Amino acid sequence: MPVKETGLGNHAMLTKIDKLRELNVGSLIPLPQLVVVGDQSSGKSSVLESLTGFSFPRAPGLCTRYATQITCCRDPVTSVAISIIPRPDANEELKMKLLGFHRHIDGELDNDELANIFHEANLTMGIRMKTNDISQIGAFSQDILKIEVNGPEQNHLTVIDVPGIFRVPTPGLTTETDITLVENMVKSYMSNRRTIILAVMPCNVDIATQEILKLAEAADAEGTRTMGVLTKPDLATEIATRDAIIDLVVGKKGHLKLGYYVVKNRSADDSSSTLAERAAAEKAFFMDLPWTAIGDRCGISALKRRLRDILMKISKQEFPFVKAEIEQRLRKCEANLESMGPTRADQGSQRQYLGRLATSFQTTTQAALNANYAGERLFRSDPDLKLITRMIKLQNVFANVFREHAHMQQFDASSDANSSSDDNNEVSENRTPPVSNDVDKSESKKTVVAFKALLAKYCELHDIIVDKAYRCPKPDNKPIMDRITEVFDSSRGPDLGTFSGTVLSTIFEEQSEKWEPLTLFHVSNAIALVHDFIFRLLCHLCPEKQVRDQLWDSLLVDPLRVLYRKAMDHARFLLSIERGGRPSTFNHYFNDILQKKRGERLARSLENKSIDLADHYRERSGRYVSLEILRSSAMNKDNEKQVCEDILDIFESYYKVAQKRFVDIVYQQVISHFLLDGDESPVKAFGPDMVMRLNDEQLELIAGEDEEFKKRRMTLQQERVSLSAALKVVRA
């Protein structure tokens, strides 16, 4: 492997990444790094020591209780600086205390001095060092101990040492919880996709059973960023064990793409040798068989060269992404802070906050009512907010079903199939195009499904709107004429050729029986839509769940229910007038239809007496009847039949006019006025007026900030500070 000298530019990039870690960006965005993991006593610290030239103090009980970041830098002066990077969730007080810890040693290191510094660092972090020491917080900490090693011999390299995994708690010192805590800490370092995992394992154990390899495989299934570092080769005395290791290193076994390295550190008995002596001893050790066969993968200097290369490569490759992620995360953080609004400590700011919310609620509502969707991003992200469009669709389905199916009996069983197109010919202006039955059916099915979902979502509507979707059955095919004759018979007076007014109203009431359930279902559906709109919009505009819930539960639901009830009552009122009152209309279409019906009836009765003159007079197509036949045709009818036919024509003409009028009025009054556009419609309930009327307690209840909220804001603010600083670093 060629030794690549670290250029100045590369050095600057590595420094930037170290700075990002110091800014705690590592907890937000994965940073390129080398992390040493392994079981307790597998030799992690020893490897680190050999790699960095930094000797951990040797003292009983001083095992790794927190992540330690060792950064080597080339500097003419030999020195070591030790400080603490506070855990991400530290409060201001703790943060100040931790940041206050700073030690600097010039020149060579003294073991006792170093042990002292470590001891002080542990105290600052609140690490329990002795058994049953309850004055301290715990045995492990999420803080990072940062050690900067400077010297003329150094090359830029940063390695992170994490606590070793262990399986049995020490009574009074470590607990089962600590085991999980450490395992999670190790896992979280390993899961970082930009971490190069150095899995340290001693040669004198069975590598295949090492748990750390399983953990590494779970975090890095491909094995592209895991390297095996085998320690204690001097303790592998059996030839079989050594052969197994050689096989592993040569690549006969194992799936790690970065391969395995073997290093020999100081043994437990050796407490006096210097680093240079250690290096010499290692070199001599690997001169022997069988290690010469894998010489390029033995020894700390080979490992160090390789690690520097890898770190450089991954840093170079990932740096642009890290930069982009910082920018992205900062934007998100700022958007979140923005949505939390300014601090709301007093009534003034609380009222202002709610006032703003109400104003934007009304602005969006106006856009939703006018189908003015272009300007608002919300309508694209949540198309269900297109209120007026949804409502018009609903009303269209209602109008179609009403026209096709709302009458109990078919008017004329024979003209059943084309009754709807007849209808359209009669009232020719402003008519809706005939809707195909299939489209109609699927639309009304959709309406039913949507209604059920809304009903399940909003239980506060249950005692106001209908509790079931109504599917309108088809009109009965029995001729209505029979029923008319019956009613006429039972209410007949002495008059000749006329009929009592109650005949019409009786039949009308019977014929319009389905109007009631159909209309009430429609209005219920409209109410559910409006309610859903209000709730959805509130969710979008007020992401603060606590504020939203209070606003909804204690301020909006009750007044909304009153308004919905009004709409339902009005629908019932319209039904009672239309169905219970005396039939009346001043609409001239009534006469148009009536005359046409009469004409048609006459034409039908003469149809088989007519002749076609086309054979004789080519230019006169159509059928003809003589005046004589016309004169005698009416004579064969009895009086009662004549009257009933009249009743049918009048009734049918009236029904059609009334039905159209009713559908329009339901929209105009119930939907449009009571639910959408009226000054007191539910969509206008949450406006600045309402906010102005709130008293101080209500304001505090709704818009006051609780502890959790304040904490979240603080976390976001800290995040913003770190990320802004990080952005400056990467852009520098």
Indicate the residue among 41 and 724 with the shorter CB distance to Mg ion.
41
Give the HSE-up count for residue 552: Cα atoms under 13 Å, Cβ half-sphere: 20
Sign of CA dihedral 204, 207, 211, 212: positive
Is position 164 an interface residue for ligand GDP (rule: CB under 6 A)? yes
Is position 278 an interface residue for ligand GDP (rule: CB under 6 A)? no
Is position 341 an interface residue for ligand GDP (rule: CB under 6 A)? no
CB 629 within 8 A of CB 607: no
Query: How, if at all, do strands 226-231 and 195-202 pair?
Result: parallel
> Tokens for 68?
């330690």
Number of chain positions touching Mg ion (CB under 5 A):
3
Is position 512 an interface residue for Mg ion (rule: CB under 5 A)? no
Indicate the residue among 286 and 674 with the shorter CB distance to ligand GDP.
286
Rounded Cα gap, residues 92 and 455, in angstroms: 48
Indicate the residue among 64 and 210 with the shorter CB distance to Mg ion.
64
Q: At closest approach, how far in Å is the CB of 6 from ligand GDP?
A: 26
Residue 135 dihedral angles phi and psi, to the nearest 5°: -70, -15
Which residue of 65, 128, 146, 264 would you call a contact of ligand GDP, by CB under 6 A?
264
Rounded Cα gap, residues 712 and 210, in angstroms: 40
Q: At closest approach, how far in Å is the CB of 45 from ligand GDP?
A: 3
Indicate the residue among 38 and 475 with the shorter CB distance to Mg ion.
38
Indicate the residue among 64 and 122 with the shorter CB distance to Mg ion.
64
Which residue of 266, 344, 407, 514 would you call a contact of ligand GDP, by CB under 6 A?
266
Which residue of 42, 52, 64, 409 would you call a contact of Mg ion, by CB under 5 A?
64
Is position 52 an interface residue for Mg ion (rule: CB under 5 A)? no
3-class secondary-structure state, position 222: coil
> Tokens for 520?
């009430």
Q: What is the dihedral of CA 431, 436, 442, 448, to 10 degrees?
A: 30
Q: At closest approach, how far in Å is the CB of 33 from ligand GDP?
A: 18
Select from 12-20, 24-32, 57-65, 578-586 the region that touches Mg ion (CB under 5 A): 57-65
Residue position matching structure tokens 């940073």: 31
CB 725 within 8 A of CB 23: yes
Select from 208-216, 263-271, 468-476, 499-507 the region that touches ligand GDP (CB under 6 A): 263-271
Is position 45 an interface residue for ligand GDP (rule: CB under 6 A)? yes
- Sorted by sequence, the CB contacts under 8 Å of residue 502 that are 6+ apart come out as 491
Is position 301 an interface residue for ligand GDP (rule: CB under 6 A)? no
Rounded Cα gap, residues 359 and 377, in angstroms: 17
Select from 226-234, 340-348, 386-394, 590-598 the region that touches ligand GDP (CB under 6 A): 226-234
CB 576 within 8 A of CB 498: no
Q: Which of ligand GDP, Mg ion, none does residue 234 bind to, with CB < 5 to 8 Å depending on kind?
A: ligand GDP
Q: Nearest Cα to 698, choosing from 555, 562, 558?
A: 555
Is position 315 an interface residue for Mg ion (rule: CB under 5 A)? no
Residue 464 dihedral angles phi and psi, to the nearest 5°: -110, -50
Rounded Cα gap, residues 383 and 464, in angstroms: 26
Indicate the residue among 195 and 365 with the shorter CB distance to Mg ion.
195
Range 25-44, binding Mg ion (CB under 5 A): 44
> Tokens for 167?
């399986």
> Tokens for 532?
């859903």
What is the x/- site pattern for ligand GDP, positions 499-538, by CB under 6 A?
----------------------------------------
Rounded Cα gap, residues 483 and 477, in angstroms: 12
Please give the single-letter amino acid code of residue 475.
P
Indicate the residue among 189 and 521 with the shorter CB distance to Mg ion.
189
Is position 69 an interface residue for ligand GDP (rule: CB under 6 A)? no
Question: Across the strands, what pairs with 160?
Answer: 35, 69
Residue position matching structure tokens 């199916």: 405
Rounded Cα gap, residues 716 and 547, in angstroms: 18
Q: Which of ligand GDP, Mg ion, none does residue 223 bind to, with CB < 5 to 8 Å depending on kind?
A: none
Q: Which of ligand GDP, Mg ion, none does residue 43 bind to, with CB < 5 to 8 Å depending on kind?
A: ligand GDP
Is position 329 an interface residue for ligand GDP (rule: CB under 6 A)? no
Question: How far is C-alpha 655 from the chain's CA centre?
Answer: 50
Is position 50 an interface residue for ligand GDP (rule: CB under 6 A)? no
Select from 64-72, 242-250, 547-555, 576-584 the region that touches Mg ion (CB under 5 A): 64-72
Neighbours of 475 (CB within 10 A): 20
Q: Which of Mg ion, ligand GDP, none does residue 184 bind to, with CB < 5 to 8 Å depending on kind?
A: none
Select from 214-222, 229-237, 298-306, 610-618 the region that touches ligand GDP (CB under 6 A): 229-237
Q: At closest approach, how far in Å is the CB of 266 from ligand GDP?
A: 5
Indicate the residue among 42 and 410 with the shorter CB distance to ligand GDP.
42
Q: At closest approach, how far in Å is the CB of 208 from ligand GDP?
A: 19
Residue position matching structure tokens 């105009």: 668
Which residue of 42, 45, 158, 195 would you call a contact of Mg ion, by CB under 5 A?
45
Indicate the residue among 43 and 341 with the shorter CB distance to Mg ion.
43
Question: How far is C-alpha 248 from the chain's CA centre?
Answer: 47
Indicate the residue among 33 and 45 with the shorter CB distance to Mg ion.
45
Indicate the residue among 44 and 329 with the shorter CB distance to Mg ion.
44
Neighbours of 516 (CB within 10 A): 16
3-class secondary-structure state, position 512: coil
CB 720 within 8 A of CB 340: no
Rounded Cα gap, residues 296 and 2, in angstroms: 11
Rounded Cα gap, residues 384 and 445, in angstroms: 18
Indicate the residue among 201 and 340 with the shorter CB distance to ligand GDP.
201
Q: At closest approach, how far in Å is the CB of 265 from ligand GDP?
A: 3
Q: At closest approach, how far in Å is the CB of 235 from ligand GDP?
A: 5
Question: How far is C-alpha 150 from the chain's CA centre?
Answer: 48
Neighbours of 379 (CB within 10 A): 20
Is position 722 an interface residue for Mg ion (rule: CB under 5 A)? no
What is the x/- site pattern for ligand GDP, positions 175-214, by CB under 6 A?
----------------------------------------
Rounded Cα gap, residues 607 and 604, in angstroms: 5
Neighbours of 628 (CB within 10 A): 8
What is the x/- site pattern for ligand GDP, positions 10-39, by CB under 6 A?
----------------------------x-
Indicate the residue among 146 and 483 with the shorter CB distance to ligand GDP.
146
Is position 284 an interface residue for ligand GDP (rule: CB under 6 A)? no
Is position 304 an interface residue for ligand GDP (rule: CB under 6 A)? no
Is position 46 an interface residue for ligand GDP (rule: CB under 6 A)? yes
> Tokens for 468?
């079931």
- Sorted by sequence, the CB contacts under 8 Å of residue 292 that are 6+ apart come out as 286
Q: At closest approach, how far in Å is the CB of 61 from Mg ion?
A: 12
Chain residues that interact with Mg ion, rule: CB under 5 A: 44-45, 64
Chain residues that interact with ligand GDP, rule: CB under 6 A: 38, 40-46, 63-64, 164, 231-232, 234-235, 264-268
